Amino acid sequence: MKAWFKSGSPWIWLNGGAVAFCMIMVVGLIGLIAVRGFGHFWPADIVKVEITQPDGSRQVVMGEIVRPQTITAAVARDGGRTDIPEGMDLITRYLLKQGNKDQTSNDFAWYFELGMGEFQYPKDAYQIERREWGNFYGQPVALVRSGEVIARPAETNFWSTLQESINRSLALHKEIRGIEKGEIGQMNAQIERLRLDLRRLELRNPSAQERAQEEERIAAERARLDAEYAILRVELDKLYESTRRDTLVMRMSDDREVNISLATIVRVTAPNSMSVFGKAGQYIERLWEFLTDVPREANTEGGIFPAIFGTVTMVFVMSIMVTPFGILAAIYLREYAKQNMMTRIIRISVYNLAGVPSIVYGVFGLGFFVYFLGGSIDKLLYEAALPTPTFGTPGLFWASLTLALLTLPIVIVSTEEGLARIPSTIRQGSLALGATKSETLWKVIVPLATPAMMTGLILAIARAAGEVAPLMLVGVVKLAPTLPVDATFPFIHLDRKIMHLGFHIYDVGFQSPSAEAARPLVYATALVLVLLIVILNLTAISIRNRLRERYRSASD
Amino acid sequence: MNDTVTPAVPPGLRSRSLLPDTEARLKLRKKRARRDRNSRWGITAAGFGVVFALAMIFVYLFYEVFPILKGATVTPQADYALPVTQATHQHLILERYEELGIQYTENGQVTFFEADTGAVRHQVSLDLPDETEITSFTHSEVIGGVTAQGLSNGQIIITRHAFDLSFPQDRRVIAPRIEYPFGANPIQVDQDGKAIQHLAVETVTRGSGGSLIAAITEDQRLILTHLTTRTNMMTGETTANTRQVTLTDVPAAPVKMLLDKALRNLFITDNRGYIHHYDVSDLNTARKVASINAGNGQNITAIDFLVGSVSLIIGTEKGELSQWFLVRDENNQFNLTRIREFKSHNAAITVITPEYTRKGFLAGDADGYLGIHYGTSARTLYLKKQADAPIKDLAISQVNGRILVLDDQNRLQVASLWNRHPQLSFSAMWNKVWYEGRGAPDYIWQSSSGSDEFESKFSLVPLSVGTLKAAFYAMLFAMPLAIAGAIYTAYFMTPKLRGIVKPSIEIMEALPTVILGFLAGLWLAPFAEDNLPAVFSFFILMPVMMLLFAFIWSKLPLRKIVPDGWEAALLAPVILLFGYVCIIASPWIEIWFFNGSMRQWFTDIGVTYDQRNALIVGIAMGFAVIPTIFSIAEDAVFTVPRHLTQGSLALGATRWQTVMGVVIPTASPGIFSAVMMGFGRAVGETMIVLMATGNSPVVNFNIFEGMRTLSANIAVELPETAVGSSHFRVLFLAALVLLALTFIVNTIAEIIRQRLRARYSNL
């Protein structure tokens, strides 16, 4: 033993253990997110269980089991369960997602195994996803159309009739949304433009005749829009009326009957009677919805499409800004600047800026870009809209610009490294053939260093996609009403606020009213973000490795 | 050389030659030179632009912080004679829009005049009863605009000035008027009809409401009158209910009387430098509590409340200024306590005028000096001669933009004032400050509240301590793991495993901190709370378990199959298994040793336990910092020249001896710089601390309590603050501190690293 210690190998083992522990942490973290994130979409079975309370009363509850937990009896007793027998040390409790928030107001509840009957999985237990109030769990009683019962669960065609009606109401809903978002949205934009025209007119103070003409035009335009709106309104009212045709009557676990209008239903499933393939189909459908749909219920349900879109747009705009400047700055530092003390100081400073806390960039972005630059732009170009700020408020452009500044050092460092790796023989060869410095640079060196620049850009994108702290200050919001890119001129709206995956995680996980309900969605969102960043980084790493191989052969 | 070939070619064909002629070549050469130049200039410009943009961060942050350092400036604008000089001057006020001044005079006149010129806009004469004259005057807290005149027949008249605002043709028109909040009829305070010598009035609007009038009559009685008014909804008529009590315990020569806004305390100064404190919270038990020798031998020449009427500012005949307020002692008794002094004037203080919404005040003295001071920060922002004669009265507007200075010779000076950030000073941000209502000086960060009278508490100490606390626990977790891991990976691990470990660590570095923060807050924090014994036993016993396994392994014949360099892979299942055992055993440990709940046990022995605490932050932020330290340290160890280690091994040292004796001493600067970089990252990290702590600004190093860091504080508060306010600038200062700190730390680390690289190349 003593000799073994003296050999020093225990310390080597301990060092190895540190590496093993780090690796376990990384793999465990990604694994945890993957399991929780992917697991969210799998349709869980609905259990129904009878619980006998300590006072002898019976209660039937129904819902999905979120997780069981084993706690010590002392903790349970502290929590108010005094009926736990003396000899019992540990006790299991189950967290049940029982939904029906509009009826019972506690959609998540813990139940102790004490007094719990056997778990039942009734075949006709439905999980109903609704636009409001979250999920509903219950058993069907009847489908009612315009006040008359048209189908009963006992009938064989009940399920198909129900799905048909739901599909119809979903189609109607889509149509309504199309009108509201598309035509009415455009109309609002036009009315806003007219208002600005009028305001601009006042600011410009033109001749009386011109003013009268302009005012007349605006009034006519407005009248036309109002008339169009009235027509649309009638159409919309009709559609709304039509969605209220069908009602599903459901029975809750406590035998109360509830009417649910199909207009509020997104999806009805009966997971207990589904085959594995059925569930897999359902899984893909839900996953797809998650990636392509807009959020509902204060972001705790529905999809994350606006967040994905916002992240991508922001990163895209940022790349456009950071790439040329980063690369040019790196070329300057490596190729043109005199390699003296000053350049060394600048280089160290630029490298160090990569280590400056991101929140500092956020503060700078808010103060300088948003309030100072944005405020000036508003005064010069958007005077009519004041006091409502256009660029003088956080938005896509400022968020991108701030991130561009934040990722500039990354691109510079990476490009410089790439330039430094190029063997000087290649450079000298080109110069010896009579090429000017710029020809050598653009035709020989830059093409060779492209992969390094790509690596820098990818790393910059990965960093930008995951950065949240500065964005909280300069343009990301929890719920943006519109996407930053749409069909209205000028198509890319740099002044709009955007949603962002990272901020979505922070917001849903920490600011939403029901943390328990939001949790699965946060895991799923985190998974999307982690996948995005891991893929980007792996790409960067592989490009860099290939690059090293290439230069190794070039310098030989 | 083309010319030598071309003569035989006919002139027509010559131009069709594929080779360019001289002119074209010249052109081409010019074009190339131009391109070369353009490229040079373009790239240089872009390079300078980027460097400039990055330097701009420093410059701009400093530019935003700079106004904090500035004192106040007073710019005289006009100078004219007081509008009313026939009667004794009582009180001067400047209204919200800094357009009108108001002068109260002892003949019962209220004069509204243009602040720019002194021209009278409006004049109101109070309706005095016949054969009476005004014998005393008081005003309640200035923002309410309530004043009271005590009459020679024991009556008082309470008035309030108010303004009607209208905007005809987009121009602001202010129409002043005088209101009688308690009805136009004088209130009979003294039933004996004696003249009222001293008066104080204050009104509470919150709660049950009501007003208190304190009056000292010429025959030395202190009469306290409590008024409650009720306005009839139907008729609009106001009826008043009064309750009265008379005290005879009155100082010999009262000078000034002050009543606080809570209607609890009454202070009377006398001509010997004493302040007499009366408890008047309940009229039935109203009594004198104490007499305090506040002047300490000097006469008190001016006294007034700061806004909120908690603090008293006392000015003496020698020009000393001090702040006092009631401090509660162990016996729940309130004692008037001297809190702090301000820079002294050279002559007797003649007038003290508090600001409306902040804890600042103006002071004028007998030499004509004007002082602008601030309570919380104890700063004197301005102290200069403003008038040739002694200053008689001062008025400041509600928005602190303009002041009126009245001197003995009835000259009135109007001056504009810039005094934006008096709350902030070095001592207010970094030293203990005695805030109003607190028992002792303390470090507190509390930037805002709902009330106007709130005293902002901008101590950066809790935030700095929180930042260091978070960084400390993160480094405690990360340093051993990262450095040990780096040494092993660089020196002992097989290249095959290294090819997996290195990219994994890079991925670890790239993981967004928002994800780490969310897992720490929503998964790790509840998990750790439920399985506290597991967490502790895991971290304490894990090394022991590793050594145990290593020892057993060294005795196994199996070890021949697996070569050196795979220790990490062998230990992974051991760690996983032990972790699992810890979790399974956790509730049993709680039952056996901690009465069923370790968390409860902590509470019982007096340790505060927050669910989101420094332990969680340490682990989560440690996770974020490990890759930074790991990569740089691994690099430093890996690039130690091979001939050094080979030499050591050749001399018979074991691998571990080589590591300790040769590798680490050589690579130590690199490892140090890695730790510095990691520290820099931990200091500035925002999302993890934002999500994994409760963000409460506490000053302690308890591992089971949370903290609030500089960066998280910026993220939480900056979107909410008003642009350009003191709070806004303090947050910019916090950002500047973070920037400077990380920049310095990183620069040192980078320089050390470059030196090391140079040394390696010499070896």
d(CA B753, CA A36): 41
Counted domains in chain B? 3
- If pLDDT is split at 50, 70 and 90, which confidence band does B4 have? very low
Q: Is residue A524 part of a domain?
A: yes
Q: Is the pLDDT of residue B233 over 70?
A: no
Closest CA to A365 of A403, A333, A391: A403
Same domain as B173, residue B37:
no
Residue B752 belongs to domain with CATH number: 1.10.3720.10
Length of chain A, in residues: 556
Q: % helix / strand / coil in chain A, to the nearest 5?
A: 60, 15, 25
Q: What is the pLDDT of residue A400?
A: 93
Residue A110 belongs to domain with CATH number: 2.30.30
A468 reaches B (C-beta below 8 A): yes
Same domain as B571, residue B482:
yes
Q: Is the pLDDT of residue B175 over 70?
A: yes
Same domain as B576, residue B478:
yes
Q: What is the pLDDT of residue B231?
A: 64
Q: Is the pLDDT of residue B230 over 80?
A: no
Closest chain A CA to residue B571: A17
The overall average pLDDT reported for chain B is 87
Indicate which of A2, A4, A12 best probes the interface with B, i.e. most B CBs within 10 Å of its own CB: A12
Q: Is residue B74 part of a domain?
A: no
Picking from A97, A121, A145, the residue at the C-terminal end of a domain is: A121
Helix axes B710-717, B726-762, angle to 10 degrees: 140
Average pLDDT over residues A501-518: 85
B653-694: pLDDT as tens digits: 988 899 988 998 888 888 998 999 999 999 989 999 999 888
Q: What is the pLDDT of residue A524?
A: 92
- If pLDDT is split at 50, 70 and 90, which confidence band does A21 have? very high
Interface contact B512-A467, CB threshold 8 A:
yes
Same domain as B162, residue B51:
no
From the list B512, B654, B747, the residue facing A529 with the nearest CB is B512
Q: Which residues of A touch B621 (CB under 8 A)?
A: none
- What is the extent of the structural domain holding A515? 308-555
Q: What is the pLDDT of residue B482?
A: 94
From the list B40, B481, B630, the residue facing A336 with the nearest CB is B40
Q: What is the pLDDT of residue A463?
A: 87
Q: Is residue A169 part of a domain?
A: no
Residue A348 belongs to domain with CATH number: 1.10.3720.10
Q: What is the pLDDT of residue B580?
A: 93
Interface of A with B in 361-420 (CB under 8 A): 361-364, 366-368, 371-372, 405, 408-409, 412
**A154's tokens:** 């006992």
Same domain as B143, residue B39:
no
What are the angstrom distances between the C-alpha of B750 and each of A153, A243, B270? 73, 66, 67
The overall average pLDDT reported for chain A is 86
- The whole-angstrom distance between residue A358's C-alpha and the CA centroid of its chain comes to 20
Q: Is the pLDDT of residue A384 over 80?
A: no
Q: What is the pLDDT of residue A18?
A: 92
Same domain as B179, residue B260:
yes
By mean pLDDT, which of A323-327, B240-244, B299-303, B670-674 is the weakest?
B240-244
Q: Is residue A521 part of a domain?
A: yes
Q: Which residues of B touch A372 (CB under 8 A)?
A: 60
From the list A18, A30, A505, the residue facing B518 with the nearest CB is A505
B331-389: pLDDT as tens digits: 888 888 899 999 999 999 999 999 988 889 999 999 989 999 998 888 899 999 888 88
- What is the extent of the structural domain holding B263? 128-293
Long-range contacts of B248-257 (CB under 8 A, 24+ apart): B248/B220, B248/B221, B248/B222, B249/B222, B249/B287, B249/B288, B250/B216, B250/B220, B250/B221, B250/B222, B251/B276, B251/B291, B254/B197, B254/B198, B254/B216, B255/B300, B256/B198, B256/B303, B257/B138, B257/B198, B257/B199, B257/B200, B257/B214, B257/B216
Higher local confidence (pLDDT), B10 or A180: A180
CA-based nearest distance A145→chain B, Å: 44
Q: Is residue B385 part of a domain?
A: no
CA-based nearest distance A39→chain B, Å: 16
Counted domains in chain A? 2
Higher local confidence (pLDDT), A228 or A386: A228
Indicate which of A25, A72, A393, A533 best probes the interface with B, i.e. most B CBs within 10 Å of its own CB: A72
Q: Is residue A237 part of a domain?
A: no
A312-331: pLDDT as tens digits: 899 989 998 999 999 999 99
Q: Is residue A138 part of a domain?
A: no
Q: Is the pLDDT of residue B309 over 90?
A: no
Q: What is the pLDDT of residue B626?
A: 94
Same domain as B62, residue B133:
no
Closest chain B CA to residue A16: B568
pTM of the model: 0.88
Interface contact A74-B623, CB threshold 8 A:
no
Same domain as B672, residue B538:
yes
A30-71: pLDDT as tens digits: 999 999 998 888 888 899 998 888 777 888 888 988 888 888
Picking from A121, A150, A178, the residue at the C-terminal end of a domain is: A121
Same domain as B603, residue B525:
yes
Q: Is residue B3 part of a domain?
A: no
- If pLDDT is split at 50, 70 and 90, which confidence band does B3 have? very low
A421-440: pLDDT as tens digits: 888 888 899 999 989 888 99
Q: What is the pLDDT of residue B751?
A: 87
Picking from A121, A154, A170, the residue at the C-terminal end of a domain is: A121
Q: Is the pLDDT of residue A554 over 70?
A: no
d(CA A411, CA B577): 43
β-bridge mates for residue B303, sequence order: B314
Q: Is residue A341 part of a domain?
A: yes
By mean pLDDT, which of A109-113, B171-175, B208-212 is the weakest?
B208-212
Q: Is residue B449 part of a domain?
A: no
Q: Is residue A265 part of a domain?
A: no
Same domain as B554, residue B626:
yes
Single-letter amino acid code for the residue at A339: Q
B749-762: pLDDT as tens digits: 888 888 888 887 77
B521-559: pLDDT as tens digits: 989 999 998 888 999 999 999 999 999 998 888 888 777
Indicate which of B63, B497, B518 best probes the interface with A, i.e. most A CBs within 10 Å of its own CB: B518
Average pLDDT over residues A289-303: 84
Q: Is residue A550 part of a domain?
A: yes
Q: Is the pLDDT of residue B9 over 70?
A: no
Q: What is the pLDDT of residue B604?
A: 87
Angle at B145 between CA B81 and CA B240, to 5 degrees: 135
Interface contact A19-B513, CB threshold 8 A:
no
Average pLDDT over residues B692-721: 89
Interface of A with B in 426-445 (CB under 8 A): 436-439, 441-442
Q: Is residue B717 part of a domain?
A: yes
B577-590: pLDDT as tens digits: 999 999 988 888 88
d(CA B404, CA B386): 11
